[in-house]
Structure 1
Amino acid sequence: MMNEWIPIPGTNKDRLITVALEEFSKKGYKGVNITELAEKANMTTGAVYHHFGSKAKLYEVIRTEIEQRILDRMEGAASLFDNPSEAMKAAMISGMDFVTKNDFSHLISEPNPSNRKDKIERFLSDLNAINDLPIELVLIASWRSIIKGIANKQITIKQGKDLINWLFQKESM
């Protein structure tokens, strides 16, 4: 069964998703204007609302798809390690590399307007070996902050990797 949101290549819905991905990736949710988005896709705002119902629903389609692409890479990287900390670190670096390489930084570094717990946060939560201490809350916030720092040119990708490695350093007690 085909998911409802998967557009047929060359259709108006496909063109809207392509333009929306580019716009949300560059400007984030608040920075995207539906009228401008429709114009860039050579359509009317009515077409956007016809296919998606609202800016929030269009964003959710884009965000869900990108989170899944990131998650696929994170799962692959994590699967190479038995140690949960090493798996988390590898997942975070792999995800950061994919996000920055594909210019999804603004999209992924911002909080999701729907306030749902995203797939990446759930994945890190499942990897957490210290179940009584929800370290994934700190890790996901740090990961998004690092990605935002890279997007805003406050830090380099190398510095981002160094920060992730630093998060996982454990001092002997």
Structure 2
Amino acid sequence: MREWIPVPTSAKGRLALAAVRAFGARPFDAVSVGDLAAEANVTTGAIYHHFGSKLGLYGFVRADVEQRLLDRMAGAASSVAGDRDSIAAVLGVGFDFAVRLEFQRILADAPTAVAGDALADLLDTLVAPAAPPLGRVLAAAWRAAVLATCDGGDVEAARAALLMLRLAR
């Protein structure tokens, strides 16, 4: 459970909201500290004060957005539990969430090795006792479909391709 929830009107809250929008739409390297500060109407020093660095801010918002994704996917999994074809429904719920809220870039990036891969871990639990790397394979396919929608990519084509995934019986 997070100890702090951003108050949208605080400098920290405005930075978090600006970062979600910026990192959801553009790759990490394409977002500057100046861009973030300007959008949040703060100085660049506020980023360092509240988050230590641009990477610290990115990590903060990525963790928040990823947790929202995982909550939705876990909820979808519980509503279709026991159906081996349900993995497509779970992937579809996550895909729709990422695209609808414009979180494609931040969620399409694989997490750093240090952070682990919570999406792959969730998918592993949903497809157990299938082959152990299956959750990682599904997470990579999900991220590829989400990334395909960036920069004007065909959302419906990417969603259709993702929903073609089915587990063998």
- Taking structure 2 as the reference length, the TM-score comes to 0.89
* Higher mean displacement: 99-108 or 109-118: 109-118
- The letter for the 2-side match of 1:34 is V
Task: Measure, in 2, the Cα distance between the counterparts of 1:88 and 1:37.
Answer: 36
Task: Measure, in 1, the Cα distance between the counterparts of 2:2 and 2:75.
Answer: 24
Whether the aligned pair in 2 keeps the contact of 1:78 and 1:86 (CA below 8 Å) is no
Provide closer, same or farther for how the CA distance between residues 132 and 113 of structure 1 changes in structure 2, counting only shifts above 3 A.
Answer: closer
* Higher mean displacement: 147-156 or 25-34: 147-156
Aligned to 2:160: 162
User: How far has the Cα of 1:84 moved from its partner?
Assistant: 5.7
- The letter for the 2-side match of 1:46 is G
Task: Measure, in 2, the Cα distance between the counterparts of 1:42 and 1:114.
Answer: 33
User: How far has the Cα of 1:164 moved from its partner?
Assistant: 2.2
Task: Measure, in 2, the Cα distance between the counterparts of 1:17 and 1:77.
Answer: 27
Root mean square deviation, CA, Å: 2.1
- The letter for the 2-side match of 1:163 is A
User: How far has the Cα of 1:140 moved from its partner?
Assistant: 0.5
User: How far has the Cα of 1:114 moved from its partner?
Assistant: 6.1
Total equivalences in the alignment: 169
* Higher mean displacement: 85-94 or 64-73: 85-94
Matches within 5 A, 1:39-50: 39-50=38-49
Aligned to 1:3: 3
Aligned to 1:137: 136
Whether the aligned pair in 2 keeps the contact of 1:79 and 1:87 (CA below 8 Å) is no
Whether the aligned pair in 2 keeps the contact of 1:25 and 1:107 (CA below 8 Å) is yes
Provide closer, same or farther for how the CA distance between residues 40 and 156 of structure 1 changes in structure 2, counting only shifts above 3 A.
Answer: closer
Aligned to 2:91: 92
Provide closer, same or farther for how the CA distance between residues 49 and 138 of structure 1 changes in structure 2, counting only shifts above 3 A.
Answer: same
Matches within 5 A, 1:21-100: 21-83=20-82, 85-100=84-99
Task: Measure, in 1, the Cα distance between the counterparts of 2:19 and 2:163.
Answer: 33
- Whether 1:109 aligns to 2:108 is yes
Whether the aligned pair in 2 keeps the contact of 1:128 and 1:134 (CA below 8 Å) is no
Task: Measure, in 2, the Cα distance between the counterparts of 1:136 and 1:2.
Answer: 26
- The letter for the 1-side match of 2:111 is N
Whether the aligned pair in 2 keeps the contact of 1:77 and 1:91 (CA below 8 Å) is yes
Task: Measure, in 2, the Cα distance between the counterparts of 1:123 and 1:2.
Answer: 19
Q: Any runs of at least 4 consecutive aligned residues in structure 1 with deviations exceeding 4 A, and if so which?
A: none
User: How far has the Cα of 1:115 moved from its partner?
Assistant: 4.4
Task: Measure, in 2, the Cα distance between the counterparts of 1:19 and 1:114.
Answer: 26
| Percent of residue pairs identical | 33
- The letter for the 1-side match of 2:165 is L
